[in-house]
């Protein structure tokens, strides 16, 4: 577990945005190549496109991973969005319980901005929530 959490933080330290940091730490486990995951998550960093008004990119990354894990992959395979939405709501609640909000600007305003990389805290929190809520089943599927 800590290995992927650490990888998410290291990704951010290397220049990935917050969303890319989390998604790319889990891309192989969830059946994505890193280049695709990196490109997919790029616009979601910094509270949606760097505007800081939207959902934290690390939180959005959790939602993307929930979709990759839970989606049926097409309407012809059955509608899966209700279950995915329920999982997203659980992820959101867990992050809010730890941090009080999922909004990028609100997280930053509550933080000691003297820290060099303040978002690493939320990236690690998001990665730990992914571990707790999404990884068990994904690991079992990759080991089959």
Q: pLDDT tens digit string along 58-73?
A: 999 999 999 999 998 8
Give the C-alpha separation, 102 to 58, whole Å. 9
Whether the CB-CB separation of 24 and 135 falls below 8 Å is answered with no
Q: How far is the CA of 135 from the CAs of 77, 87, 107, in angstroms? A: 23, 13, 25
- Nearest 10 degrees: CA dihedral of 46, 37, 121, 141? 150
Q: How many domains does the chain have?
A: 1
Q: Using one digit for the tens of pLDDT, what is the confidence trace for 71-114?
A: 988 888 888 999 999 999 999 999 999 999 999 999 998 876 65
Structural domain that includes position 32: 2-142
pLDDT in tens, 15-57: 999 999 999 999 999 999 999 999 999 999 999 998 888 999 9
């Amino acid at each position: 577990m800590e290995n992927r959490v650490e990888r998410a933080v290291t990704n951010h330290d290397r220049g990935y945005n917050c969303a890319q940091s989390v998604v790319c730490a889990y891309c192989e486990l969830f059946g994505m190549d890193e280049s695709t995951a990196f490109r997919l998550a790029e616009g979601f960093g910094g509270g949606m496109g760097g505007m800081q008004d939207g959902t934290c990119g690390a939180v959005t990354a959790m939602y993307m991973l929930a979709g990759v894990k839970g989606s049926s992959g097409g309407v012809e395979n059955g509608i899966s969005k209700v279950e995915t939405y329920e999982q997203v709501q659980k992820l959101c609640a867990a992050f809010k319980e730890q941090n009080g909000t999922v909004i990028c600007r609100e997280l930053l305003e509550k933080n000691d901005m003297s820290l060099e990389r303040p978002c690493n805290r939320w990236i690690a929190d998001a990665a730990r929530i992914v571990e707790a809520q999404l990884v068990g089943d994904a690991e079992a599927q990759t080991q089959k």
